[in-house]
Amino acid sequence: MNFYDLVVVGGGPAGSSTAYCASQKGLKVLVLEKKKVPRFKLCAGCISKRISSYLPAGWEKLVLNRISSGVLGYAGNESLEIPAEEDIAYIIDRSEFDAFLLDKAQETGAHLLQECEFLHLEKEGERYRISTSKGVFYADYLVGADGFYSKVATSLGYRKNKFFKALEFFTDGELSHKVLIDIGIVKRGYAWIFPKGSKISVGIACTGNYDLTKALKDYAEKRGFKNITKVYGWYIPYAESSRDVFYGKERILLTGDAGNLTDPLLGEGIYYAVWSGKVAVDAITSSPSNPAENYKTLLKDLVSELVYAGKIARLGYRFQKVAYRMAKKGALKTYYRLLTGDVSYRELYRGGLLDFFKGLIYNYLWR
């Protein structure tokens, strides 16, 4: 029984979302996950409120912290706290969250094979022959949801060239309901302090060529963290134009980090991973003979969000002081509305452009 309609490589949020939606639509699905579940995934675990409608019922029980306030700092010297009127985001533990999503996919009928690594694929007639560390499987469709180092993507010839490098450590402390983001620390990126239940996560993400270990150490010291024991590092790919997206080919689609479907402003990836999983299934079921072309069309709204987030990132990180001033004047509150799903990145960008240029002129005349 090694024949499936769809094989999904990777059991993170992108893979589970794909498997969940596909089995709901009656497809026979196999998920291959190379690690034992639950598995550790380096992540700050902050999900924006707008993800809620994409998640299966019951996810709320996994929320460790409800976020209703944000502190934005500039260059470690100034900072401002702006409370929101409602919850704007939630903190979850990635091993629990990802295991929950995989459980839900299995409840809808998907099969999960853990500690099974995808190795390579070949086309055999109309099917894909998928070789893994636990044998060979056949499928009509394949979804690569295997994260940053996606073997499915590389087997299609894709090579990543846009990504954040990120370092993170976990320590004692409590923040409860707020997140801290500091800009003006690195050229194109930011540092953060987020709650994690009764602990906290401290990290830094940057796209430039930086000594990030030193930057994190300096930042942590400035913020009063002295004994940093273990620092973890990983990458966050991103797309800021449709050309950066790895859509896939023919009946092979790429979702989540495998497809670079991550926000170029802050590196938020879980929301886009889950969203792209759903779109991939819509692409397969509505155009069985050429889903990759259809996926490109159906993913337009998601990609448009990444494109506008990229425009904001390019301006905001280049002129960080101006961005900070704009946040103070109200842009942060509008950003909260993005997190709740009430405005899009497109609206945020278009609505803020005039203020940004005013801020830029002010910056040059009175700095």
- When binding is defined by CB under 6 A, the residue of 8, 22, 30, 32 that contacts ligand FAD is 32
The answer to whether residue 151 forms part of the interface with ligand FAD (CB under 6 A) is yes
Closer by beta carbon to ligand FAD, 39 or else 346: 39
Choose which of 11, 184, 248, 264 interacts with ligand FAD (CB under 6 A): 11
CB nearer ligand FAD, residue 47 or residue 303: 47
Return the number of the residue (34 or 325) whose C-beta is nearest ligand FAD.
34
Q: How far apart are CA 189 and CA 211, in angstroms?
A: 13
Cβ-Cβ contacts under 8 Å for 182 (sequence gap 6 or more): 72, 73, 74, 75, 76, 79, 190, 191, 192, 219
267-286 positions binding ligand FAD, by CB under 6 A: 267-271, 273
Return the residue of 7, 45, 88, 143 that touches ligand FAD, per CB under 6 A: 45
> How many residues make contact with ligand FAD (CB under 6 A)?
40
In the range 105-134, which residues lie near ligand FAD by CB under 6 A? 117-118
- What own/partner pairs with CB < 8 Å and gap ≥ 24 does 126-130 have? 127/3, 128/7, 128/251, 128/252, 130/7, 130/32
Segment lying near ligand FAD (by CB under 6 A), choices 37-45, 80-88, 300-308, 342-350? 37-45
* Residue 189 in contact with ligand FAD, rule: CB under 6 A: no
Q: How far is the CB of 198 from ligand FAD (least distance, A)?
A: 18
H/E/C letters for each residue in the chain?
Answer: CCEEEEEEECCCHHHHHHHHHHHHCCCCEEEECCCCCCCCCCCCCEEEHHHHHHCCCCHHHHCCEEECEEEEEECCCEEEEEECCCCCEEECCHHHHHHHHHHHHHHCCCEEECCCCEEEEEEECCEEEEEECCEEEEEEEEEECCCCCCHHHHHCCCCCCCEEEEEEEEEECCCCCEEEEEECCCCCEEEEEEEECCEEEEEEEECCCCCHHHHHHHHHHHCCCCCCCCCEEEEEECCCCHHHCCCEECCEEECHHHHCCCCCCCCCCHHHHHHHHHHHHHHHHHCCCCHHHHHHHHCHHHHHHHHHHHHHHHHHHHCHHHHHHHHHHHHHHHHHHHHCCCCCHHHHHHHHHHHHHHHHHHHHHHC
- State yes or no: residue 70 binds ligand FAD (CB under 6 A): no
**What is the per-residue binding string for ligand FAD in 229-268, x denoting contact by CB under 6 A?**
-----x-x-------------------xxx---x----xx
Regarding 33 and contact with ligand FAD (CB under 6 A), the answer is: yes
Does residue 291 belong to the site contacting ligand FAD (CB under 6 A)? no
Could you tell me the smallest distance in angstroms from the CB atom of residue 175 to ligand FAD?
14
Q: Is 14 in the site for ligand FAD (CB under 6 A)?
A: yes
* Among the listed residues 8, 9, 220, 332, the single contact to ligand FAD using CB under 6 A: 9
Interface with ligand FAD, residue 12, by CB under 6 A: yes
Q: Using CB under 6 A, which of the segments 33-41, 75-83, 215-223, 312-320 binds ligand FAD?
A: 33-41
Out of 93, 146, 182, 305, name the contact with ligand FAD by CB under 6 A.
Answer: 146
Are 18 and 27 a contacting pair, CB within 8 Å? Answer: no
Q: In the complex with ligand FAD, which residue's Cβ is closer, 30 or 298?
A: 30
Q: Which residue's Cβ has the minimum distance to ligand FAD?
A: 269
Shortest Å, Cβ 318 to ligand FAD: 23
Binding-site ranges for ligand FAD (CB under 6 A):
9-15, 32-35, 39, 41-47, 117-118, 145-147, 151, 166, 168, 203, 234, 236, 256-258, 262, 267-271, 273
